[in-house]
Amino acid sequence: MRAMKFDFSDKNAELGELYPQHLETVRKRHDHALEQAGAAHAVIFSGAPKYAFLDDHDYPFRPNPHFVSWAPLIRLPLSYIVYTPGEKTVLIYYQPHDYWHPVPGAPDGYWTAQFDIRVVHNVDDVAEHLPEDRDRCIAVGEFDDDAHAFGIDRVNPTTAVNILHYARGPKTAYELACMRLASRRGVAGHLAAAAAFRDNMSEFAINQAYCEATRHIDNELPYSNIIALNEHGAILHYTDLDREAPVELRSFLIDAGAQVHGYASDITRTYGNGDTQFAELIERMETLELDLVSRVKAGVDYRDLHLETHKLIAGVLVDSDLAMGNAETLLATGVTSAFMPHGVGHLLGVQVHDVGGFMENESGATIDPPSGHPYLRLTRVLEEDMVLTIEPGLYIIDMLLENLRGTPAETHVNWNTVDQLRPFGGVRVEDNVRVLADGCENLTRDAFAELL
Ligand code: GLY
Ligand code: MN
Ligand code: MN
């Protein structure tokens, strides 16, 4: 593996070149949101630290994703962006006098030229930098404490917020560049983790190898890593990390991402350890996943892609001798859903499950998932430059398979093969793709090709 030589900093020249155009897009969406909401100023709050009950320790800070869409400032609590159409955007940059915690440094990086930056050292000083007429403001963000809204009554008005959410579907060139970097960063971790698995390491040690290679600390990861050996692969959100390596290493499912300036990657790979039956299952799921990726293009209804996945999963179940019957029957009786009980993917961006996946339009109308598929998180028709995941999976989850007993599905399941594959947990393959007019760009596989 080559050493990672990518510039993730806010001095990255390519990001610096793309950022002004990105902000132009962000400003336009706010112009539209303000107009529709009948307001003159948008005040975007970065968020406040949250404290554990009866304690003075705060949880890891998760910034308001709308704030991060404006500026790559993911560790800047109690700060505000004030946007007024036609005026230079104000950034109220909170830099407390605090000797207990690290404080944000002086504003620095490619983003600074775009803002009229007001550094404040006391929360009380924020008020003087906000528009005087609070009635003409809307505030966007999470306000657990009313004091942080400084008298703005219109907090997250639906009309404006729906417009902002919907518009975040397709990504700007700057966002795509951040996400390509996030993919490379994640893939560097995946390669290190796969090597650690081959060295018979524990889940705990594999996670350390991942964090070391991505140069992330746990709190910066876009979601908690899923590092699952053997049957742990069947627990969809397995986030325990066993400290000891199992005596017998059979399989490894890793779902882990990285982020660059708040933009995430979300990548899954599954590895075997010599068992032919499991290797064949991985191979079939890999082929299935690539087949789905090849169907991604603008105009595709993602619900159809999800239902198509279930038909393909039926084929894999039959080829793997896990089930008997035609695809229609295996879908109708719930067999495919028992083996793949999650959606085939979701929007990705500044949130791992990016907002707006169910939105039919900017007015807030929603599109339901197909009946019987409540966990599908993306129901939109795909548009150019959306970034989404394709993540089919197949697992031995006894809780779900047992529900098939005593139903018409029972006779379609080959319970002996279920027993044989249970110790391997499951298989998931997850790529991040950018929708194009007539196909897609595979951020994940491009990154693997570059780093391998
Ligand atoms: N890692 C979370 C997901 O794949 O959706
Ligand atoms: Mn994932
Ligand atoms: Mn995902």
What tens digit of pLDDT does each residue of 18-65 get? 999 999 999 999 999 999 999 999 999 999 999 999 999 999 999 999
- Ligand 1 atom nearest the C-alpha of 257 is 1
Q: Which CATH superfamily does the domain covering 173-451 fall into? A: Creatinase/methionine aminopeptidase superfamily (3.90.230.10)
Closest CA to ligand 1's atom 3: 266
Tell me the percentage of the chain whose pLDDT exceeds 70: 99
- Ligand 1 atom nearest the C-alpha of 428 is 4
Q: How far is CA 207 from CA 94, 216, 224, 231, in A?
A: 34, 11, 10, 17
Q: Does domain 13-167 have CATH number 3.50.50.60?
A: no
- Ligand 1 atom nearest the C-alpha of 342 is 5
What tens digit of pLDDT does each residue of 194-237 get? 999 999 999 999 999 999 999 999 999 999 999 999 999 999 99
- Predicted pLDDT at 241: 97
- Could you tell me the two tokens for 138? 């809307």
pLDDT band at 5 (very low <50, low <70, confident <90, very high): confident
Query: How many whole angstroms from 6 Cα to the centroid of ligand 1?
Result: 24
Q: For ligand 1, which residues put their CB under 6 angstroms from it? A: 223, 255, 266, 346, 352, 391, 430
Question: Residues 160-198, buried b or exposed e (16+ Cβ, 10 A)?
Answer: bbbbbbbbbbbbbbbbbbbbbbbbbbbbbbbbbbbebbe
What mean pLDDT is reported for the chain? 97
What radius of gyration, in Å, describes the C-alpha atoms of the chain? 24
Residue with tokens 């068992």: 275
Tell me the best of 265, 430, 431 to mutate to test the pocket of ligand 1, counting ligand atoms within 8 Å of each CB and taking the most: 430
pLDDT band at 370 (very low <50, low <70, confident <90, very high): very high
| pLDDT higher than threshold 60 for residue 276 | yes
Please name the amino acid found at residue 26. Answer: V
User: Residues near 126 by Cβ (< 8 Å), separated by ≥ 6?
Assistant: 78, 80, 92, 94, 120, 150
Residue 364: beta bridge partners?
none
- Predicted pLDDT at 4: 66
Using CA atoms, how far apart are residues 298 and 438, in angstroms rounded to an integer? Answer: 7
| Domain positions in the chain | 13-167, 173-451
- Could you tell me the two tokens for 121? 């050292």
- Could you tell me the two tokens for 182? 């996030």
Mean pLDDT to the nearest integer, 286-300 = 98
- Predicted pLDDT at 143: 98
| pLDDT higher than threshold 60 for residue 2 | no
- Predicted pLDDT at 6: 85
| pLDDT higher than threshold 70 for residue 3 | no
| pLDDT higher than threshold 80 for residue 283 | yes
Is the model more confident about 8 or about 381? 381
Contact 313, 338 (CB under 8 A): no
Query: How many whole angstroms from 52 Cα to the centroid of ligand 1?
Result: 26
CA atoms lying within 13 Å on the CB side of residue 341: 15
Using CA atoms, how far apart are residues 93 and 33, in angstroms rounded to an integer? Answer: 24
Mean pLDDT to the nearest integer, 92-118 = 96
What tens digit of pLDDT does each residue of 372-394 get? 999 999 999 999 999 999 999 99
What tens digit of pLDDT does each residue of 144-191 get? 999 999 999 999 999 999 999 999 999 999 999 999 999 999 999 999
Query: How many whole angstroms from 391 Cα to the centroid of ligand 2?
Result: 7
Query: How many whole angstroms from 246 Cα to the centroid of ligand 2?
Result: 24
- Candidates 68, 30, 83, 76; CA nearest to 49 is 76
